[in-house]
Amino acid sequence: MSTAPAVQAAINPVEPFLRSDRMPHIWCPGCGIGTTVNCFSRALVDSKLDLDKVAIVSGIGCTGRVAGYLRLDSFHTTHGRAIPFATGLKLANPELTVVVYSGDGDLIAIGGNHFIHAARRNIDLKIICVNNFIYGMTGGQVAPTTPVGATATTTPYGCFERPFNLPFLAESSGAVYVARWTAFHVRHIARSMVEAFNKKGFSFIEIISPCPTLYQRRNKLGDGLDTMKLYKQKSVIKNGANTRDVDIAFGGEIIVGKFVDIERPTLHQTMDQQFRQVLKDRYAGLGGRG
Amino acid sequence: MKANPAGVLTGAHFLDGDQACCEGALAAGADFAAGYPITPSTEVVERFAARVPTVGGLFIQLEDELASSIAILGAAWAGKKVFTVTSGPGFSLMMEHIGLAAMTETPCVFVDVQRGGPSTGLPTLPGQADMMQARWGSHGDYAIIALCPNSPQECFDLMIDAFNLAEQYRVPVLFMMDECVGHMTEKVVIPSADAIEIYPRRFTSLPPAEYKPFKPSPDGVPEMVKAGDGYRFHITGLTHDEQGYPAMTWRAQEKLVRRLVEKVRKNADKIVRAEECDLEDAEVVVLAYGITSRVALRALQMARAEDIRAGLLRPIVVWPFPEKRLRELAERVKAFVVVEMNYGQMVYEVERCAGGKTKTVLVEHGGGTVHDPEQVLTVIREAAR
C-alpha cells in the first residue's frame, strides 16, 4: 500500500519577488513581458543582491507596468523619462542597483535622447528593453523599431521607415554591456541580467518579445506559441557579433547574444575623481548633507 | 530643526538675485540639482555647480528640461533636497513633471526666472506672464505653492521658505522670479545657520509592514520614505490608492485628487503671505508682485505726495492667493489697481475676490522692461476719483 505524497502548496519560486496582491497583471495571453519578469526574478535570486538595495524604474506602456508588479522600491514615471528619473535616483544614492525596465517606444522613441546621453555618460544603470516592435498599450502603432514592411495601425500599408538597430545604438552611444535575446531564450536572458547587475556602467539588454494581440496578429505571425517557435527557428546566437550587423529585417533572422562587455569608468567615478583632483581638501563629497 | 552650517554663507554680500537664490537653496539644505542652461536663469545653477561639491551634494547638467525636471524627483525619492531652475521655454517643458511631482507628492522646488514670451520671446528681458502657467500649467487637477521675490535678499530668504513649504506639504513649490530680480545686484545678508529654521522631511517612523505611502496624516499630507530603506514601496503617476497601487476608478480619483487639492486649499490661511503698505486708510489698493511691486511702490509714493490715499498689497506667496484679505478690502475701498508685466493674469484673481463690490483696473505691460511709475500713477489718480 502506498501513501499519497504530502500535498505541498504550489509556490512559484519567483513569487517572493512579485506583488501578488496586484495580480492578475494586465498583460495579454502570449505576451512576452511576463516571461522577462520571470527571468528577472531568477536573475535577482542568482545575483544574491540585497533586494532592499535594488530599485526599478519604468516609463509608460505595457512594459512600463513591470515596476508595479515587482516587490522592490519601484517607480512608474512618465512616458520616455524613466532613464532621467533613474539618473537622479542613482546619483543620489550610488549604493542602489538601479534597473530601468521599459519598452522600445518608451526608451527609444520619446525617451531616445535620454538613452543616448545616459549611455554617453556611462551612468551605472541596467536598462532592460522589451522590444515588441510596436506600441502595445495604445493599440498597435508604428514604433522606431518596427521592421520595414511590417504593418501597424498608423502604417496600415506597411512601415516605410528604417528602424533603429538597438544594440548598435547602445554601443555607439557608449554602453559597456550590450546583449540581445528573444523571449524564447529564458536562461540566456537571466544570465545576461546577472552579468548586467554585476557590471558597473550603462548596461543594455534588448529582449525581442511577442505582442500577439497587436503586432503578431496584424502581421499574421500567429499566437504567442507560434512566435516562440519562430524565435527558435530564426534566431542565431553570435556572441561578440559586430553590433553594426545585427539589424532585424521583417521575417529575417534575429542575431542574438552578448555583443559588448567592456570596462569604462562610470559617471560617478569620473565625477568623483575630477572633484577630488581639482578641489582637493575643499571637496566635501557627493553624498549631500541630509 | 536648524540649517546645516556647511551650506550657509553667513555674512553680508553683494549678490544678484540668481546668485542669492542659489545661496538660499544651499542654506535650505539643497544637495541635488539638475538643470539645462537657459537665460536668464543659468547663473543659479552655475553657482550651485561651483559651490555644491565644496559643501556636499551634487549638480548635474542634463540633456534637456524634461530630464532635469524628473531627475530631481528621482533624487528626492533617494532622500535628497532637490530643485531645478529654468525660464520661458524650459518652464513649458517642465510642466509634465510638475504634475508628476504633485501626483507623487514629491517635495521639490522649481525656479522660473521669468522672461518675455510667448515662445522664445525675450530671452534676456523680464516678463511676468508665467503666473497662470505656474498654477495651471500641467494637465489635470492639482495644487502647488508659488512664491514671488522682489529683491535679491528675498531670493535668498524665500528660497528657504520654498524648500520648507515643499517639505511640509509635499508639493512642488514654484519660485517665480523675473529677469530683473534675477539680474539685479543688491546687498544680501545671510544669517548664521542657527538662525535659519528648516522643515525636515516627513519620514515615517512606521515599520514597512504598517506603512502605506499615501495614507495622509491629519493635515492631509502622507509620511515619506526613501529608496533603499527596505520599504519596497511603489510610486506611480497613475491614480493610486493609499498603498500607492494604481486604482482606475472614479472613487480612487475622487479620494486622491481631492486630497491633493485640499492639502493646499485647506491650509491656505497658513501658507498665504503678503506685504502691506499704507493700507489702513487706503481708498485705492495697488496689487503688484515681483519687480513690478517696486515700481508700484514708487507710484504709491507719488500718489501719496498728491494726497491720494493709495496703499500697496504685495503677495509674497502668490499661489495660494491672498483671497481672504482681498475680500475684506473689497468691502471698503474704491478700487483695486493691478500692476503686472503681462496682459492680465493675476488680475483675474483680484477681480474674482472683488466680487463686483469694487472695481478692478489692470495696468498691463507686455514685458521687456518695467512699467513707468507715471503710467501707474495715472491709473491710481483715475481710480481714486
Domain limits, chain B: 5-195, 274-384
Average pLDDT over residues B27-41: 98
Q: For the range A224-230, what are the long-range contacts, defined as Cβ-Cβ under 8 Å and sequence gap of 24 or more? A: A224/A29, A224/A30, A224/A31, A224/A32, A225/A30, A227/A30, A227/A32, A227/A183, A228/A183, A228/A184
**Closest Cβ opposite residue B236 in set A68, A95, A114:** A68
Tell me if B227 and A77 make a contact (CB, 8 A cut-off).
Answer: no
Q: Is B61 on the interface with A (CB under 8 A)?
A: no
Contacts of A21 in chain B (CB under 8 A): 245
Average pLDDT over residues A218-235: 96
Choose the mutation target among B70, B106, B138, B240 for the interface with A, i.e. most A CBs under 10 Å.
B70
Reported confidence tier of residue B6, pLDDT bands at 50, 70, 90: very high
- What's the pTM? 0.97
Residue B73 exposed, middle or buried by CB count within 10 Å (0-12, 13-18, 19+) = buried
Q: From A290, which residue of chain B is nearest by alpha-carbon distance?
A: B80
Query: What is the per-residue pLDDT for A16?
Result: 87
Round the average pLDDT of chain B to a whole number and report it.
98
Contacts of B71 in chain A (CB under 8 A): 84-85, 87-88, 91
pLDDT tens-digit map of A227-281: 999 999 999 999 999 999 999 999 999 999 999 999 999 999 999 999 999 999 9
Q: Is A281 on the interface with B (CB under 8 A)?
A: no
**Closest Cβ opposite residue A68 in set B6, B97, B246:** B246
Cα gap B57→A261, rounded to integer Å: 31
pLDDT tens-digit map of A26-83: 999 999 999 999 999 999 999 999 999 999 999 999 999 999 999 999 999 999 999 9
Tell me if B68 and A96 make a contact (CB, 8 A cut-off).
Answer: no
pLDDT tens-digit map of B171-220: 999 999 999 999 999 999 999 999 999 999 999 999 999 999 999 999 99
Please answer whether residues B267 and B341 qualify as being in contact, where contact means their C-beta atoms are separated by less than 8 angstroms.
no
* Helix axes B323-330 and B346-354, enclosed angle (nearest 10): 50
Domain B5-195 is found in CATH 3.40.50.970: yes
Tell me if B71 and A275 make a contact (CB, 8 A cut-off).
Answer: no
Around A209, how many Cα atoms within 13 Å sit in the side-chain half-sphere?
A: 30
Residue A97 — φ and ψ, nearest 5°? -90, 115
CATH architecture assigned to B274-384: 3-Layer(aba) Sandwich (3.40)
Tell me if B228 and A289 make a contact (CB, 8 A cut-off).
Answer: no
Q: Is B5 on the interface with A (CB under 8 A)?
A: no
Q: Is A102 on the interface with B (CB under 8 A)?
A: no
Place of cell 553680508: B12
- A 1-60 near B (Cβ less than 8 A): 19, 21-22, 51-53, 55, 57
Average pLDDT over residues B243-259: 98
Choose the mutation target among B8, B32, B80 for the interface with A, i.e. most A CBs under 10 Å.
B80
Q: From A17, which residue of chain B is nearest by alpha-carbon distance?
A: B232
**Closest Cβ opposite residue B56 in set A51, A77, A287:** A287
Cα gap A78→A130, rounded to integer Å: 17
Tell me if B53 and A78 make a contact (CB, 8 A cut-off).
Answer: no
Q: Is B68 on the interface with A (CB under 8 A)?
A: yes
Cβ within 8 Å of residue B4, ≥6 positions away: A289, B29, B193, B198
Please answer whether residues A204 and A224 qualify as being in contact, where contact means their C-beta atoms are separated by less than 8 angstroms.
no
Query: What is the per-residue pLDDT for A289?
Result: 79
B226 min Cα distance to partner chain A (Å): 9
Complex ipTM > 0.95: yes
Tell me if B79 and A93 make a contact (CB, 8 A cut-off).
Answer: yes
Query: What is the per-residue pLDDT for A13?
Result: 82
Tell me if B55 and A51 make a contact (CB, 8 A cut-off).
Answer: no
Classify the C-alpha dihedral B245-A133-A34-A97 as positive or negative. negative
Compute chain B's Rg from CA coordinates.
Answer: 21
pLDDT at A107 over 80: yes
Query: What is the per-residue pLDDT for A12?
Result: 81
Fold entry, domain A21-282: Rossmann fold (3.40.50)
Contacts of B29 in chain A (CB under 8 A): 289-290
A-B CB pairs within 8 A amount to 165
Average pLDDT over residues A11-19: 86
